A and B are shown apart, each in its own frame.
Chain A
Amino acid sequence: MNFKQKVTLLASIGFGLGVITGVTITSVITTAGAADGNFYVASRDLIEAVGNPLVAFLIQAFVSGLYGAVVMGASAVYGKEEWGVTRCTLIHYFIMMIAYCVTAFSLRWYTIDDMIPLTVMLGAMTVVYFCIWLGFFISYRAQLKKINLELLQLKTSQTGV
């Protein structure tokens, strides 16, 4: 499978996952936040802006799907073996952050008036990506340390090299 095919496959899977998680999380958070006995299928600001809950739901689902497709499709960058882990993680991080901001403002998850929740969310995502990078780095370093030890044992135990 070449890189383009991999991106397409991951984006397709990401679209489905994006729809499911986007709709679920938004419904739960909006409904819990409102706490008025009503069930909300999208953010209240989006429903108000569109004027129709069903249309708001469909927009919510589609845009969430697009976000999932972009983020999951971009994860194909980790398959570029010739690129370092840092480069892959940074590329995916920036794509994800930009996609998240576009999605969040499109779906009225946040407003311009109050940027603190968005800032907190972006900060949390930054921490997550740092942990992802750190995990990769520590894993590779441990593997290479083991390889170096085995290489030394191999060379010192064998003659004719």
Chain B
Amino acid sequence: MKNAVDIDVVIDERFVDPKVTITTKEKNNFVESIINAVETVSETEYPLIPAVNGEGTVFVSQRDIIRVFTHGRKVMIETDDGQYEVRKKLYVLEEELNSSRFIRISQSEIINIYKVKSFDINIAGTIGVEFENGRKSWASRSCVKTIKELLKA
């Protein structure tokens, strides 16, 4: 008996996050159920992060997060769309973030390695991080080893 859905798995190292393409005659309830099932698995593995801005609560995809940092007593996340407050401690949020994408660079900051443009060191011997959106930050020396291990993985 043939299954209702044909599933093809293509292994391609270029795809960090699995890409699901559904080829169908029409978008019906059955297809919607498949989409919901895939989204449920995806959000379970790497959940959306609930955050607050002036307009209310938003759910931020981890792929969109540039960095997570503390600002005073608040924990903030930065995306290309702006900064949002997260009602969680930094160490709690760190456990929810995809460890193959996010790395802690100091006591108060976690960055998305895919949003980094470059790392450098200045004459003061401090390690600088420049993000693709032009933002700059500072990293502790111990993160150099961690970054190397993350990139090798």
Contacts and interface: CB of A to CB of B under 8 A. Distances in A.
Interface of A: 81-82, 84-89, 133, 136-137, 140-141, 143-144, 146-148, 150-151, 154-155, 157-161
Contact of A160 (B15, B125, B142, B147): B15
Contacts of A133: 125
A6 B133 CA distance: 40
B106 A151 contact: no
Contact of B114 (A81, A87, A146, A155): A155
A82 B124 contact: no
B140 A86 contact: no
Contacts, number: 76
Interface of B: 13-17, 19, 63, 106-107, 113-114, 116, 118-127, 140-142, 144, 147-148, 151
A82 B119 contact: no
B15 A82 contact: no
Given A84-B126, A151-B113, A161 B107 contact: no
Nearest to A88: B125
29 contacts: A82-B106, A82-B107, A85-B121, A85-B141, A86-B124, A86-B125, A87-B125, A88-B125, A136-B125, A137-B121, A140-B121, A140-B127, A140-B141, A141-B120, A143-B148, A144-B144, A147-B119, A147-B144, A148-B119, A150-B151, A151-B118, A154-B151, A155-B114, A157-B14, A158-B13, A158-B14, A159-B14, A159-B16, A161-B114
